[in-house]
């Protein structure tokens, strides 16, 4: 299978993480999950995802800080990896900050159904 098939989902909310993971696995994506920065960094080094769905509000290190690290530190090899930030409606300035720091797009949790995630990921392949 071509395209963005290896997905890393960085989300601390267990329910959202499980819903998103199931929706992607059902469409034959390979999915790894992390609940925080430390887990994400460890997985990235071994898994080398094609696409990262990155929650902004995480325990400890924020998704924005993770984004900056991934885009600037070559040890992770994510300078060209597709990264979508996952946000709530109240985080508009954080979303704008993420786009300014190299995010390829964003997903507003309240506006997307898990079953729509594959279409969002496919749209990144066309860019």
Number of domains in the chain: 1
In a domain, 103, yes or no: yes
In a domain, 44, yes or no: yes
In a domain, 124, yes or no: no
| Element containing residue 18 per DSSP (H, E) | helix 14-25
Q: Are 8 and 37 in contact (CB under 8 A)?
A: no
In a domain, 47, yes or no: yes
In terms of residue numbers, what domain contains 31?
6-119
Reduce the DSSP state of residue 82 to 3 states and report it: strand
CATH no. for residue 53?
3.40.50.2300
Q: Report the percentage of the chain scoring pLDDT > 90.
A: 82
In a domain, 93, yes or no: yes
Q: Are 6 and 30 in contact (CB under 8 A)?
A: yes
**How do residues 85-123 score in pLDDT, each as one tens digit?**
998 866 678 888 899 999 999 999 889 999 999 999 999
In a domain, 76, yes or no: yes
Residue 56: both structure tokens together: 């902004």
In a domain, 127, yes or no: no
**More confident of the two residues 8 and 125:** 8
pLDDT at 60: 95
pTM for this entry = 0.94
In a domain, 54, yes or no: yes
């Amino acid at each position: 299978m071509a395209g963005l098939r290896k997905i890393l989902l960085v989300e601390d909310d267990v329910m959202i993480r499980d819903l998103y993971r199931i929706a992607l696995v059902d469409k034959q994506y390979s999915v790894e999950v992390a609940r925080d920065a430390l887990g994400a960094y460890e997985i990235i080094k071994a898994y080398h995802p094609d696409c990262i769905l990155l929650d902004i509000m995480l325990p400890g290190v924020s998704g924005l800080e993770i984004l900056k690290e991934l885009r600037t530190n070559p040890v992770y090899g994510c300078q060209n990896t597709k990264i979508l930030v996952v946000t709530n409606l109240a985080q508009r300035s954080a979303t704008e900050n993420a786009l300014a720091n190299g995010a390829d797009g964003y997903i507003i949790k309240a506006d997307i159904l898990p079953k729509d995630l594959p279409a969002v990921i496919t749209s990144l392949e066309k860019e």
